Chains A and B, each alone.
Chain A
Amino acid sequence: MLMDGKKLLYDKYFELLSFLITSARGLFNEPEIYGPLRLVETAEKLLEIMEEESISNRELVELKKYIHENIDTVLYGEEEFKKFLDEVVKRLALIIRSEVKRN
């Protein structure tokens, strides 16, 4: 039973869980590029949950926005999609680096 009485259907964690399980099965039949696509989609969903639960900061909000606005590069071919993922990794690394330096 959920604490606030809302249906499990609308719970963000349940959504993520369903996405992961159905993606795991679906990827056997889908194009290879959908593997990285589903993972970065998972990252976007996780960033959304973190934002809702205030486990976020300006950089993470911007990272989520960047993913959301550029994920369609998957339609432009593998090289474009790789460039997009490289940029996501770079932004993540900058966030990690700033956390290391933070006192």
Chain B
Amino acid sequence: MNLEELPDKARIVFETIRGRRSIREYIDREIPLEYLKLIVEAGLWAPSASNLQPREFILIKDKDLLRAVKLVSPGLSGNPAAIIVLCIDREKASKGGRMGETMALLDVATSLQNMMLMAYALGIGSCPIASFDKLALKTILDIPEHVEPVLLLSLGYPKRWPQPPPRKNVDEVLHVDGW
């Protein structure tokens, strides 16, 4: 489809989605706190199952703490200016019944995408990281027992915007009106 034919809002949204990359090398530059808060707010506007909103966020800006988190996160590359730990509150999630925890994870996932797109729109690179040691992270950050860190989101101004890895074509995966 020719993007130029789309209404401005649709074109900008699609270009933002397609332009976002996972960034693993950052320059040494701070991110303003108001930008970081805006990124978290974008996450809060993601849908939440039964509107339970079991998501919690830990923002890390302190240099020593950033380093400490990096030490226990094999999947974290580069030196980000900030890290946001996306967590679920198990007590709140349990109000969603048997599906509560699964839906809470989906809530985190949709928040994550909003946050990465908001960051990208601000010129900030990001990378979601699942490869971190939960026990070590909970110990370092004093995270309470009922709160589960699910993902890290590293944030910083990118050294470069890398080429995208291959993506499937829509016709390979889209089944219209049945498989």
Contacts and interface: CB of A to CB of B under 8 A. Distances in A.
Contacts of B68: 9
B71 A72 contact: no
A34 B162 contact: no
Q: How large is the interface on A (under 10, 10 to 19, 20 to 34, 35 or more residues)?
A: 10 to 19
A41 B74 contact: yes
Interface string A21-36: 0110110001000100
B166 A9 contact: no
Given A72-B162, A72-B165, A76-B165, A22 B132 contact: yes
B33 interface: no
Interface string B149-179: 0000000000000100110000000000000
A38 interface: yes
A62 interface: no
Interface string B72-87: 1111000000000000
Contacts of A7: 64
A103 to B, nearest CB: 40
- The DSSP consensus for interface residues of chain A is helix
Interface string A1-32: 00000010110001100110011011000100
Interface residues of B, number: 16
A10 B131 contact: no
A22 B72 contact: yes
Nearest to A42: B74
Contacts of B70: 15
Contacts of A15: 70-71
B133 interface: yes
B67 A25 contact: no
A7 B162 CA distance: 33
A30 B131 contact: yes
B10 interface: no
9 contacts: A9-B64, A10-B67, A15-B71, A18-B71, A18-B72, A22-B133, A30-B131, A72-B162, A72-B165
Which 6 interchain pairs have the tightest Cβ spacing? A18-B71, A75-B165, A22-B133, A23-B74, A9-B67, A22-B72
Given A22-B132, A22-B136, A26-B131, 15 more contacts: A9-B64, A9-B67, A9-B68, A9-B71, A10-B67, A14-B71, A15-B70, A19-B74, A22-B72, A22-B73, A26-B132, A30-B131, A41-B74, A75-B165, A76-B166
